């Protein structure tokens, strides 16, 4: 069964450093998303991406964040200068055309020290 994959599973970085989180969505899906979940809190939407551009973003997704689809399979989230409060699980998700159901990857645990 097709699945969303994410790398790395765990990333530790120092405050102020840049990190890139990588995702490979399900191959025939067209809509891509990033969500995050701070420990003990709810899953929060960050950004959605369709047709090679951002279609929607939340207030969390400020200028420190960017997304890219560098090739036909990868979808990346970059955090330019990490803060302590960026520590969270980051989930990539994808959905197909006409299929609202969204499938999540296993997540990357980002720890900022």
CA distance 53 to 42: 26
Distance, CA of 90 to CA of 76 (rounded, Å): 11
Gap between the Cα atoms of 70 and 66, Å rounded: 12
Of residues 2 through 61, those in contact with other proteins by CB under 8 A are 31, 33, 35, 41-45, 48, 55-56, 58
DSSP 39: T
- Look-up: residue for tokens 């964040």? 65
Sheet holding 5-7, edge to edge: 5-7, 19-24, 75-79, 65-68
Least Å distance, CB 16 to other proteins, is: 27
- CA–CA separation, 104 vs 44, rounded Å? 13
Minimum CB distance to other proteins, residue 54 (Å): 11
DSSP letter (8 states) at residue 43: -
Looking at the Cβ atoms of 24 and 102, the one nearer to other proteins is 102
- Of the pair 17, 44, the CB lying nearest other proteins is at 44
Is residue 75 involved in binding other proteins (CB under 8 A)? no
From the list 14-22, 63-71, 75-83, 87-95, the region that binds other proteins by CB under 8 A is 87-95
Asked whether position 1 contacts other proteins by CB under 8 A, the answer is no
Contacts with other proteins, residue ranges (CB under 8 A): 31, 33, 35, 41-45, 48, 55-56, 58, 89, 91, 95, 98-107
């Amino acid at each position: 069964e097709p699945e969303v994959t994410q790398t790395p599973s765990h990333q530790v970085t120092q405050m102020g450093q840049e990190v890139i989180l990588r995702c490979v969505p399900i191959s025939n899906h067209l809509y891509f998303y990033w969500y995050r979940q701070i420990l003990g809190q709810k899953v929060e939407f960050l950004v959605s991406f369709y047709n090679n551009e951002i279609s929607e973003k939340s207030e969390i997704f400020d200028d420190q964040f960017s997304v890219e689809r560098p090739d036909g399979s990868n979808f990346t989230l970059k955090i330019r200068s990490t803060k302590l409060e960026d520590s969270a699980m980051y989930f990539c998700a994808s959905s197909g055309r006409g299929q609202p159901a969204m499938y999540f990857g296993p997540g990357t645990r980002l720890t900022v020290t």
